Amino acid sequence: MARAALGLLGAGAVALLAVASVALLPLVSSDDGYRHCEGVVRGWADSSTGREKDGDKLSLKDLLFFLHIPRTGGRTYFHCFLKKLYTNAQECPRSYDKLRFDPSHPDCKLVVTHDDYSLTSKLPRERTSVVTILRNPVDRVFSTYEFSVEVAARFLVHPNLTSAKLMTTRVLTKSRAVSTLDIWPWKYLVPWMREDLFARRVARGFDKVHSSKKVNTYDVEDMVMPLHEYINDPVAHEIIHNGATFQITGLTNNSYFDGAHEVRHCVRQHPDLGHIVLQVAKNRLDQMLYVGLTEDHEESARLFAHMVGAQVLSQSGTLNLDLKEDLPSENDSHPSMVELEEEARNEHLNSTHGWQNNEALNSTSDEQGNGNMTVGKLMEAYETCIAKLRKSQSNRRKISLKKVAEANFSKEARKLVPEAILKQIISLNSLDMELYDHAKKIFTQEHLMLKAQQSVVGHHRQLAEQKGWTDIICGDGICSPWMVVMLGLGIAAIIALLSFAVTTRRRTSKLKDGWKAPRIIERSRIPYKNVSK
């Protein structure tokens, strides 16, 4: 019996151990997975550290790489700034079309692309300056959602999805144009949203263009994928959330780095590893020539014109610093980039198939490579350009959204989005939120540097004026001792003559006053006697 009992006890112990081991397996596996991911992320970070610290980061190098984070207003900078500073021949060909991009072009001086930082592996790193613009992550997610809907909605002019795809293929084959569907991340986001729009149209009925349920603009579910579904979809987790951090670190799903997917997967699986990636992103921003902010559009434009534009003009030999418009006044009424994007969401296309036919955009490139361009003229041209863009893009947005009329996106509509969704967006983009705060600090430093630069320029001008006066006296600017003595005697003589003239004038004045005094007294007595009588 005892043996039987011991046998049963032993069997029970074995069973408990088996159960415990099964229960512990996930913990062990999870721990091993964390250690593996930590090694992967730290290994990547170590290999990425220190690459950017080459020379003076504030000096423009041979090649300018504009790292365009989607929905930050970078397309406006491209057409209204860079197209006026660089000629078509100086742009790296097809830089928005990764498959046909050729960075080895002999005259390539400008790359503007949605490609992430890993593109620098294809560029001459020691001769490349990087610039970018960041935007508040919550607004960027909103704008990404809105633009996805806007572009996808253009396809609703077709009777069905198959027809839309066939027509798009035919047009692109004939025109060889660069479409939004060729450009990251829209080549993933637009087809995804397009399929969803067609499915919802079929479900509600082809002819119905109004929703049967109206909660708010961002939750018209029988017409458009609601925002809360959009941000929770795996596609959004893969491409949108923390997108700025992953793009600046070169870890998007469009990366040239083969291990990008594993690093990105590890960070999503183990969020506490995100601080490693975030630190690399901050270091990258610190080493960039320029970091702008979408929300502070006016000051960002000024900084870009003086920190980047001035150097491009200087290298081309056309620099003429015009500081009259350097610092914004309290009465500046220029639209913010956020307002600009609310009215002009489409930065790429004039139609479903390409942006080459955009009259307003093309009209901004009339002054490409203008040898007479200065910083002051550059800012004036920029203001004129964005006014044209606002008008054309606002009209295009209205046309694009006609088939989903109740998706009338605006700043006012955003205010109606539930607080819970806003908090979720912030949580899903925690890395981008912290990176954006870091960018704001850099932006403040850039502003201070510009003011210091302007002060130095003013001082140099004063010195130049003084030097010009010395050159008149001394010829080559070097005065010999006897010239200094003669100059001193001359100045002393002038002072003596001036003193003599002043003294003589004073004496003459006193004599005249003395001669007039009796007459004044005599006249003053007459009324006195009359009064006494």
* Residues annotated catalytic, as ranges: 125, 146
Angle at 253 between CA 251 and CA 257, to 5 degrees: 50
* Tokens coding 93: 């060909």
Q: How far apart are CA 417 and CA 420, in angstroms?
A: 8
Which residues have C-beta within 8 Å of that of residue 438, sequence separation ≥ 6? Answer: 282, 285
Alpha-carbon distance of 523 to 505, in angstroms, equals: 27
168: CB partners within 8 A, 6+ apart: 155, 179, 181, 352, 353
Specify the 3-state DSSP secondary structure of 433: helix
The CB-side HSE value for 276 (13 A sphere, CA atoms) comes to: 23
Listed in sequence order, the DSSP H helices in 49-116 are 74-77, 83-85
Residues 6+ apart with CB under 8 A from 397: 150, 343, 344, 345, 346
Distance CA 277, CA 259 (A): 14
Angle between helices 375-400 and 137-153 in degrees, nearest 10: 50
- Assess contact for 152 and 224: CB atoms under 8 A: no
SS (H, E, C) 253-286: CCCCCCCHHHHHHHHHHCHHHHHHHHHHHHHHHH
How many residues make up the chain in this entry? 533
Give me the helices (H) in 270-374, please: 274-286, 297-304, 310-315, 337-343, 359-363
Helix (H) or strand (E) segment spanning residue 18 = helix 2-48
How many CB atoms are closer than 10 A to CB 75? 22
Retrieve residue 165's tokens: 């795809």
